[in-house]
Amino acid sequence: MINDFFNIFLPQGCLILFILIHLVLSIFISPKYHRYARPISCVGISLGIVLLTTVQTEPQYFGFKNAVMSDAYTLFFHFLILLCGFFVALLTKNLVKSMKQNAYTFHAILLTAILGGMCVVSANDFISLFISVELLSFPTYFLIASKKGYFSKEASFKYLITNAVSTGVFLFGVSYLYGLTSSLNISEIYETIIEQDPSLLYSFSGILIVLGLVSKLAIFPFANWVLDVFKGSETSILAFLSTIPKIALFGIVCRLLVFSLGSSFELTFVIAIMAIVTAIWANTYAIREKNVKVILACSSAANAAYVILVAGLVSEYNLSTVIFYLTCYVLMNLGVFAFLNITESNGIGYNLEDYKGLYHKNHGLAVAYAVCIIGLAGFPITSGFVSKIYLFSGIANSGLIFLPFLIAVLLLTVVALYYYLKLIRPLFETSENANVNILSALFSQKFVLVVCTVLTVLIGVYPEKIIELCKFIAYNI
């Protein structure tokens, strides 16, 4: 047990240590030192990234009585989660400022959520998976509710209710799978299934499990929460919500699909239908919407739908496209939310009109934001273009049956283009009231925005190294 801890669990252990530090400090330290909470979190997360080098991955390492596993796949996802966690922690300054003595508690919760995300990816057992998912979800309720005012509480409650229902669905599916295979271990189930003939009941349990898990990605049956939650939360929390749960749950869902749920046609078909319905709903909803955060909520749901559609067509190539798309998407999204964080701290609202003419006084920030949005829309020179082609080549390679899905999804990206253009157009317009000010941005906010933009462009110009890495991970799962 102790060996397992040192072999694969050190990054998580480091996070646990820093959570404890935060909790202790929150009790004993004077409220006027609240500004140290953020640096401590950042140190903890960067230490976690450093400790990733100690994790054993070759070829696969099963620890804690097969409850936790570690390979190149989990390592990459852990890295991605920690990187996003680092960026999110950097963006929390303005939120924490208003909290005073609660700052340390807030950061403890944030780190717990990141820890939960990491545990979700590396779970190798449905029990540990369930606990990890809850470890990710519970802090998220508090994070959403951390903003002052009524709407954040409502959003938090809505998210709680949706998640409670979806957890029930997930456990129902797990119970069926346990009944069929009398095992809860993901890799053992895989072996059992290969020996038996997969039955319809087996597909059914797979559908329920995936359905329960993807609710946190805002996929169709449980998609509505995303609008209220995005509307009610603070932007740094949105940066968290649109990245870390996504990475974690896509990580585990893709592996479940490859490992144990296999590629039964029913499952693929149900996932495809869910994805298409979500994409249609999200993209059409955003057309008339005027609130930036709600538009981004729709974009988040739509992107998740594209990814889950490709992930459902299980193959190693598709897995590599999914990993690459997630990497690019997460970076662009963080850039967008970093910009919104800057405007939010400058007292600018969330309506499209509020952004009018920002370009004329803030060339750099506005262009960086525009690059991220253009990337989300899938235009060239950004990683969005390459990842779009690469992701959809996965559908094209899966056979002609899925061609209608490919065309439908691509046509929906046209709809998406409309609202992405709506997001950047006001910035370059001339404002009538002409009282646009120079935005004051903290170094950390600018840092996140610039790093995300530069990476977006760099991956767009030269994607080969990252794609190779994704392929290596996907083919060695």
Do 26 and 107 touch, CB atoms closer than 8 A? no
Amino acid at position 257, single letter: L
Restricted to residues 387-416, the positions that interact with another protein (CB under 8 A) are 389-390, 392-393, 396-397, 400, 403, 406-407, 410-411, 413-414
d(CA 350, CA 168): 35
Q: Which stretch binds another protein (CB under 8 A): 104-112, 213-221, 328-336, 362-370?
A: 362-370
Please state the φ and ψ torsions of residue 185, each to the nearest 5 degrees.
-85, 130
Q: Which of 35, 97, 290, 425 binds another protein (CB under 8 A)?
A: 425
Q: Residue 225 is encoded by which pair of tokens? A: 């929460």
d(CA 427, CA 469): 36
Do 314 and 263 touch, CB atoms closer than 8 A? yes
* Size of residue set near another protein by CB under 8 A: 38
> Does the footprint of another protein cover residue 106 (CB under 8 A)?
no
Q: Which of 142, 178, 379, 447 binds another protein (CB under 8 A)?
A: 379
Do 126 and 187 touch, CB atoms closer than 8 A? no
Least distance to another protein, CB of residue 396, Å: 4
Q: What SS3 class is residue 160?
A: helix
Q: Which of 430, 437, 438, 475 binds another protein (CB under 8 A)?
A: 430
Q: Which of 10, 386, 448, 449 binds another protein (CB under 8 A)?
A: 386
> Does the footprint of another protein cover residue 172 (CB under 8 A)?
no
d(CA 92, CA 347): 16
Of residues 74 and 362, the one with the C-beta less far from another protein: 362
Of residues 173 and 378, the one with the C-beta less far from another protein: 378
> Does the footprint of another protein cover residue 290 (CB under 8 A)?
no
Q: Residue 207 is encoded by which pair of tokens? A: 């559908």
Q: Which stretch binds another protein (CB under 8 A): 35-43, 187-195, 245-253, 426-434?
A: 426-434
Q: What SS3 class is residue 410?
A: helix
Please state the φ and ψ torsions of residue 418, each to the nearest 5 degrees.
-60, -45
User: What Cα–Cα distance (Å) separates residue 448 from each residue in 87, 93, 334?
Assistant: 6, 13, 8
d(CA 229, CA 237): 10
> Does the footprint of another protein cover residue 118 (CB under 8 A)?
no
> Does the footprint of another protein cover residue 316 (CB under 8 A)?
no
Q: What SS3 class is residue 69?
A: strand
d(CA 247, CA 445): 22
Q: Which residues contact 375 (CB under 8 A, 6 or more apart)?
A: 328, 332, 335, 382, 383, 384, 385, 456, 460
Least distance to another protein, CB of residue 328, Å: 13
Closest listed residue to residue 81, CA positions, set 114, 103, 113, 107:
114
d(CA 388, CA 406): 12
Least distance to another protein, CB of residue 349, Å: 22
> Does the footprint of another protein cover residue 471 (CB under 8 A)?
yes
Least distance to another protein, CB of residue 377, Å: 9
Do 393 and 463 touch, CB atoms closer than 8 A? no
Of residues 58 and 464, the one with the C-beta less far from another protein: 464
Least distance to another protein, CB of residue 468, Å: 7
Of residues 178 and 379, the one with the C-beta less far from another protein: 379
> Does the footprint of another protein cover residue 287 (CB under 8 A)?
no
d(CA 451, CA 323): 20
Amino acid at position 277, single letter: V
Restricted to residues 318-337, the positions that interact with another protein (CB under 8 A) are 320
Least distance to another protein, CB of residue 381, Å: 7
> Does the footprint of another protein cover residue 462 (CB under 8 A)?
yes
> Does the footprint of another protein cover residue 367 (CB under 8 A)?
yes
Least distance to another protein, CB of residue 462, Å: 5
HSE-CB for 48 with a 13 A CA cutoff: 30
Q: Which of 204, 355, 385, 405 binds another protein (CB under 8 A)?
A: 385
Least distance to another protein, CB of residue 467, Å: 5
Q: Which stretch binds another protein (CB under 8 A): 177-185, 217-225, 422-430, 442-450?
A: 422-430
> Does the footprint of another protein cover residue 374 (CB under 8 A)?
yes
> Does the footprint of another protein cover residue 259 (CB under 8 A)?
no
Q: Residue 113 is encoded by which pair of tokens? A: 């959520």
Judged by the rule CB under 8 A, the positions of this chain that interact with another protein are 320, 363-364, 367, 374, 378-381, 385-386, 389-390, 392-393, 396-397, 400, 403, 406-407, 410-411, 413-414, 417-418, 421, 425, 428-430, 462-464, 467-468, 471
